[in-house]
A and B are shown apart, each in its own frame.
Chain A
Amino acid sequence: MSGYMGKILHVDLTNKTTSVESPSDEFYRKHMGGSCLNLYYILKEMQPGLDAFDPGNILAISPGVTTGFAVSGQSRVTINAKSPLTGAIGDSQSGGFWPSELKFAGFDAVIVKGRAQSPVYLWIHDGEAEIKKADHLWGKFTGDAEQLIKEELGDEKCKILQIGPGGEKLVRFAAVLSMCNRANGRTGMGAVMGSKNLKAVVVRGKQRPQAADQATVKELAKTGGITYPKSMVAGMDKYGTASAVLGMQAAGGLPSYNFTSGVFDQAQNLDGTTMAKSILKGSDSGKQDKLGADTCFGCVVKCKRVVEINHGPHPVDPVYGGPEYETVATFGSYCGIDDLPAVAKANELCNKYGLDTISCGATIAWAMETFEAGELTPEDTGGLDLRYGNAEAMLELTQLIGKRQGFGKILSEGSARAARHLGKGERFLITCKDQESPAHMPQHKRSMALIYAVNPFGADHQSSEHDTEYEPETFEHFSGRLAHLGLREPQPVDALNPAKVAYTRRTQQLMSLLDSLNLCQFVWGSTWQLFGPEEILSFVRAATGWEVDLEELLEVGERRLNMMRVFNAREGISANQDRLPEKFFNTPLKGGISDGWKVDKPEFEEALHEYYRQCGWDEQSGVPTPETLKRLGLGWSL
């Protein structure tokens, strides 16, 4: 037994019981961890057609077989359940120290069903699990609950995965937080935890996963540190992911004014370089490189931000970290706001209440566009002036969403439900499967049009490589790694032809593998990251001792995607919901170099069918065929 701990914890909150399963080596090799492993239990144990808040919804939490070895970008965890936002499968990843610590506590996954009668938390330590009362923690902000749990357990070093008041109150895009600043943000997994009266999962242990080839694992750890300063990700430690703001602006792909434009004139005020100089912890004394960056277990990249603001109208507590690129965009350029301290405050509020910053900021941006169009009025908004650029209104609304009060209660359902409830603003939606689009524009990077539509859990930017890495002018740099995926035909960034579909599908399989192994895409992706496909293969072999090849690994990624499609088909979701918002087709972008850009509908429709064909799915319904499922060892799911 190498790589994995050999134990899966099952928790039944209704009956207050726990049990431990020890799956076979074959099971681990077939699923690896993360969503692929989680989906196995969800498909096997959950009845089709249940509401996401039904106690029968299965909440599955797992890292992967490579988690817990001190190599960069390996400490991540995936949470899956039926999503209350999309009605489809929910899926969300985050990093930090919790994922490794779960394995140190002796477990590879936690599978939760049922609903506790009153609030509880799970305390998992040294191979044991307890269900503990959490009435005293309910209603607390994440930072306060974290401190109380540590005091109660007498362990400063325990790692806590928890929900905030947003999840307790069933905000449909509620997040799950660890360290108060790492969010499993997307698809409302926090609300599912809230519906189960499960406040937190706390882990601690002294066990360690054993590697089959420790020397290779050590070599990978060493290589990461040596390679990083010479890599293209060098600088992430100084400027974080928000340094992407100016790159996106340069390309005309920075979503602004609710995806009305691809440029934001004040973009530089929001960029990671500005953040480093102005609001990162230590920036007032020139020590931001040391104090303003944070990292995950074993990782040299240090892309996480720590913001501290002690003066002015928007003080920010460093406990809650700092905004990523997506957060800067959704609360910034989406809303026409260039006030970086206000954006950092919105990030803090989301991490306190436990909200997905993408859906929260994008939902507010949708409300702003609808307000600007005169369809929403102050009577609808409780007097809030929701014109673009109003940072104070944005912050007030974020809190109202977290509390599910006033107009915030309507927006806590997400923008698509809010539009349907109000009968207003549907033409301004930027949702796919009712999930708000992240900050990468299909009008700019055309494969995003396809991936946002077909992704089983709604619009997502980390489910495939982006077009800019397959352009003729950049391809030479990436060609070596992409050749491992059989990708040798670079295409223009705005092409959506069969070759681009193949690029999308093939890199989607790789990302899907990464979300099963729970390897970070910033470190292990196929293009400019620290490691590439060859190193993934080395790492899996060294950790587990399995003589796998890259095709077998990619098949794990493909298996995960097919399991998700099977889940969705059971819920009545297939090609009928592989749609893009009409706005992306019928409203050309305004201003800057992307002026006039839009997605061509016939081209998109053709790409959709080409994608189904390449996946081995029914061309009309988008559902995996029996032959494809059998090929992937999923005949049991038919």
Chain B
Amino acid sequence: MIRVKDRHITWHEGMTVADMLRELGDGFPYAAALINDRYVCRRDFPTALIPDKAEIILIPGVGGG
């Protein structure tokens, strides 16, 4: 099980960030993700592996601030 956006998603061996986003299904174009404390940018979503029990923070590409 992994945790993202206050939701729990079932983990499977070889799960990538792209897989996780498909499971999450919110369709948002995130710019980056923090997997525990490891940072992954969007271009690496298809290949970046997620370990079991990971805590994930998704980061949008903020326009202002």
Residues of A within 8 A of B61 (CB): 244, 247-248, 251, 466, 468
Q: How far apart sit A618 and B43, CA to CA, in the bound complex (Å)?
A: 42
Tell whether, in the assembled complex, residue A250 and residue B41 are in contact, meaning their CB atoms are under 8 Å apart.
Answer: yes
B contact residues around A477 at 8 Å (CB): 27-29
Given contacts A249-B32, A250-B41, contact A466 B63 (CB under 8 A): yes
A461 within 8 Å of B (CB atoms): yes
Provide the A243-273 mask, 1 if CB < 8 A to any CB of B, else 0. 1101111110000000000000000100001
The reply to whether B64 and A233 contact each other, CB–CB distance below 8 Å, is no
A528 within 8 A of B: yes
Residue among B5, B26, B30, B32 with the highest chain A CB neighbour number at 10 A: B32
Contacts of A233 in B (CB 8 A): 60
Mark each residue of chain B from 3 to 41: 1 if its CB lies under 8 Å from any CB of chain A, else 0. Answer: 001100000000000000000001111111010010101
CB neighbours (8 Å) of B58 from chain A are 235
What is the predominant secondary structure among interface residues of chain B facing chain A?
A: loop
Q: Is the interface of A mostly helix, strand, loop or mixed?
A: helix
Are A324 and B65 interface neighbours, CB within 8 A? yes
Known contacts A229-B6, A473-B29, A268 near B39 by CB under 8 Å: yes
Which of B32, B61, B62: most chain A CB closer than 10 A? B62
Known contacts A325-B62, A468-B63; decide if A528 and B28 are in contact (CB<8 Å): yes
In whole angstroms, what is the CA distance A477 to B60 when docked?
13
- Cβ-defined contact, A273 with B62, below 8 A: no
What A residues does B26 contact at CB under 8 A?
Answer: 230, 232
Q: Give A230 to B62 CA distance when docked, in angstroms.
A: 17
List, in ascending order, chain A residues with CB within 8 A of B5's CB.
Answer: 234-235
Q: Which residue of A lies closest to B57 (CB)?
A: A273
User: Would A247 and B32 count as touching, CB distance under 8 A?
Assistant: yes
Q: Are A249 and B41 in contact, with the CB atoms below 8 A?
A: yes
Q: Once the chains bind, are B63 and A247 in contact (CB under 8 Å)? A: no
Minimal Cβ-Cβ distance residue in B for A250: B41
Q: 1/0 contact trace for A460-481 toward B, CB 8 Å?
A: 0110011011000110110000
- CB-CB under 8 A from A466, the residues of chain B are 61, 63
* Residues in B whose Cβ lies below 8 Å from that of A250: 31-32, 39, 41-43, 59
- Least CB distance, A300 to chain B, in whole angstroms: 15
Count how many pairs of residues, one from A and one from B, have CB atoms less than 8 Å apart in the complex: 93
Contact of B63 among A239, A268, A525 (CB under 8 A): A525
How far does the alpha carbon of A99 sit from the alpha carbon of B28 in the complex, in Å?
32
- A232-B34 in contact given A241-B64, A461-B63 (Cβ < 8 Å): no
In contact, A246 and B59 (Cβ under 8 angstroms): yes
List B residues 42-63 near A (Cβ within 8 Å).
Answer: 42-43, 57-63
Q: How many residues of B contact A (CB 8 A)?
A: 24
Q: How far is the CA of A462 from the CA of B60 in the complex (A)?
A: 16
Contact A465 B63 (CB under 8 A): yes
Residues of B with C-beta under 8 A to A413: none
Interface core residue of B28, B41, B61 (most chain A CB under 10 Å): B61
Report the separation of the CA atoms of residues A440 and B31 in the bound assembly, to the nearest whole angstrom: 14
Contact status A247-B60, CB under 8 Å: yes
Please name the residue on chain A nearest to B34 by beta carbon: A273
A268, B32: Cα distance in complex, Å:
12
Task: Determine whether A578 belongs to the interface, using a CB cutoff of 8 Å to chain B.
Answer: no
A604 close to B (CB within 8 Å): no
Q: Please determine whether A243 and B29 come into contact, CB atoms closer than 8 angstroms.
A: no
Indicate if the CB atoms of B41 and A232 lie closer than 8 Å. no
Residue A521, interface by CB 8 Å: yes
B2 to chain A, nearest CB (A): 16
Contact among B32, B41, B43, B64 with A522 in the assembled complex (CB-CB below 8 Å) = B64
Which residues of A503-539 have CB atoms within 8 Å of chain B's CB atoms? 521-522, 525, 527-528
- Give Cα distance in the complex from A247 to B29, angstroms: 11
Q: How far is the CA of A622 from the CA of B42 in the complex (A)?
A: 39
* Complex: chain B residue closest to A272, CB-CB: B59
The reply to whether B27 and A247 form a contact with Cβ atoms under 8 Å apart is: no
Q: Is the CB of A247 within 8 A of B64?
A: no
Residue on A with the closest CB to B27?
A477
A244 touches B62 (CB 8 A): yes
CB distance from B11 to the nearest CB of A (A): 21
Q: Is the CB of B31 within 8 A of A251?
A: yes
Contact A326:B60 (CB < 8 A) given known A249-B41, A473-B29: no
Q: Identify which of residues 542-568 in chain A touch chain B, using a CB-to-CB cut-off of 8 Å.
A: none
Residues of B within 8 A of A525 (CB): 63
Question: Judging by beta carbons under 8 Å apart, are B39 and A461 in contact?
Answer: no
- Minimum CB–CB distance from B8 to chain A (whole Å) comes to 15
A253-297, CB < 8 A from B? 268, 273
Q: Which of B6, B28, B32 contacts A246 (CB 8 A)?
A: B32
Question: Contacting B65 at CB < 8 Å: which of A234, A325, A527?
Answer: A325
A249-B41, A477-B27 as given contacts; A244 in contact with B65, CB under 8 Å:
yes
- Contact present for A241 and B62 (CB under 8 Å): yes
CB contacts (< 8 Å) of B63 on chain A: these are: 440, 461-462, 465-466, 468-469, 521, 525, 527
Least CB distance from B60 to A in Å reads 5
Task: Evaluate whether A462 and B64 lie within 8 angstroms (CB atoms) in the complex, with A250-B31, A250-B41, A474-B29 already known.
Answer: yes
Could you pull out 9 A-B pairs where Cβ atoms are within 8 angstroms?
A232-B60, A243-B60, A247-B32, A249-B32, A251-B41, A325-B65, A466-B61, A473-B29, A477-B28
Closest A-B pairs by Cβ, 4 of them: A250-B41, A325-B65, A247-B31, A241-B65
